[in-house]
Amino acid sequence: MKIHILGICGTFMGGIALLAREKGFDVSGSDTNVYPPMSTMLEQQGITIMEGYDPAHIPADVDCVVVGNVMKRGLAVVEYLLGRNLPYRSGPQWLYENLLQDRWVLAVAGTHGKTTTSGMLAWILEQAGLEPGFLIGGVPENFGCSARLGQLPFFVVEADEYDTAFFDKRSKFVHYHPRTVILNNLEYDHADIFPNLDAIKTQFHHLMRMVPGNGLAVVNGNASSLQDVLHMGCWTPVETFAHGDWQAECLSPDGSSFEVSHQGQPQGVVHWELMGRHNVDNALAAIAAARHAGVPVVEAIRALASFRNVKRRMQLQGEAGGVRVYDDFAHHPTAISTTLDGLRARVGTNRIIALLEPRSNTMRLGVHKDALAASLAAADEVWLYQPPGLDWTLDPVVQALGDRGHQVGDVDELAVQVVQGARAGDHVLVMSNGGFGGIHEKLLDRLAGKAV
Lowest mean pLDDT among 165-174, 273-282, 311-320: 311-320
Question: Which of the given ranges, 55-69, 350-364, 403-417, 438-452, has the highest pLDDT on average?
Answer: 55-69
What pLDDT does 36 receive?
A: 65
> Predicted confidence band at 386 (pLDDT cuts at 50, 70, 90)?
confident
What pLDDT does 371 receive?
A: 79
> What is the rounded average pLDDT of the residues 120-133?
97
Strand 257-262 relative to strand 246-250: parallel, antiparallel, unpaired? antiparallel
Residue 142 φ then ψ, to 5°: -65, -30
CATH 3.40.1190.10 maps onto the chain at 102-304
Q: What is the pLDDT of residues 140-157, one digit of tens each?
A: 888 988 899 999 999 999
Q: Is the pLDDT of residue 160 over 80?
A: yes
Q: What is the pLDDT of residues 274-290, one digit of tens each?
A: 888 889 999 999 999 99
Q: What is the pTM of this model?
A: 0.83
Higher pLDDT, 202 or 397: 202
Q: Is the pLDDT of residue 261 over 80?
A: yes
User: 3-state secondary structure string, the chain?
Assistant: CEEEEECCCCHHHHHHHHHHHHCCCEEEEEECCCCCCHHHHHHHCCCEEEECCCHHHCCCCCCEEEECCCCCCCCHHHHHHHHCCCCEEEHHHHHHHHHHCCCEEEEEECCCCHHHHHHHHHHHHHHCCCCCEEECCCCECCCCCCEECCCCCEEEEECCCCEEECCEEEEHHHHCCCCEEEECCCCCCCCCCCCCHHHHHHHHHHHHCCCCCCCEEEEECCCHHHHHHHHCCCCCCEEEECCCCEEEEECCCCCCEEEEEECCEEEEEEECCCCCHHHHHHHHHHHHHHHHCCCCHHHHHHHHCCCCCECCCCEEEEEECCEEEEEECCCCHHHHHHHHHHHHHHHCCCCEEEEECCCCHHHHCCCCHHHHHHHCCCCCEEEEECCCCCCCCCHHHHHHHHHHEEEECCHHHHHHHHHHHCCCCCEEEEECCCCHHHHHHHHHHHHHHHHC
User: 3-state secondary structure string, 119-146?
Assistant: HHHHHHHHHCCCCCEEECCCCECCCCCC
> What is the rounded average pLDDT of the residues 348-360?
84
What pLDDT does 37 receive?
A: 67
Query: Any residues with CB less than 8 A from the CB of 306 and at least 6 apart, and which?
Result: 123, 127, 142
CATH 3.90.190.20 maps onto the chain at 315-451
* Topology given in CATH for the domain delimited by 102-304: UDP-N-acetylmuramoyl-L-alanine:D-glutamate ligase (3.40.1190)
What pLDDT does 451 receive?
A: 47
What pLDDT does 64 receive?
A: 97
What pLDDT does 363 receive?
A: 67
What pLDDT does 365 receive?
A: 64
> Predicted confidence band at 331 (pLDDT cuts at 50, 70, 90)?
low
What pLDDT does 366 receive?
A: 64
Q: Is the pLDDT of residue 425 over 80?
A: yes
Q: What is the pLDDT of residues 2-39, one digit of tens each?
A: 999 999 988 899 999 999 999 999 999 999 977 666 77
Mean pLDDT computed over every residue of the chain: 89
Lowest mean pLDDT among 115-124, 233-242, 434-443: 434-443
> Predicted confidence band at 161 (pLDDT cuts at 50, 70, 90)?
very high
Q: Is the pLDDT of residue 227 over 50?
A: yes
| Domain 2-90: assigned CATH number | 3.40.50.720
Lowest mean pLDDT among 150-159, 329-338, 343-352: 329-338
> What is the rounded average pLDDT of the residues 312-339?
80
What pLDDT does 364 receive?
A: 66
Tell me how far apart the alpha carbons of residues 299 and 320 are, in angstroms, rounded to a whole number.
38
Q: Are 353 and 418 in contact (CB under 8 A)?
A: yes
Question: What percent of the chain is predicted at pLDDT more than 90?
Answer: 56
CATH 3.40.50.720 maps onto the chain at 2-90
CATH superfamily of 315-451: Mur ligase, C-terminal domain (3.90.190.20)
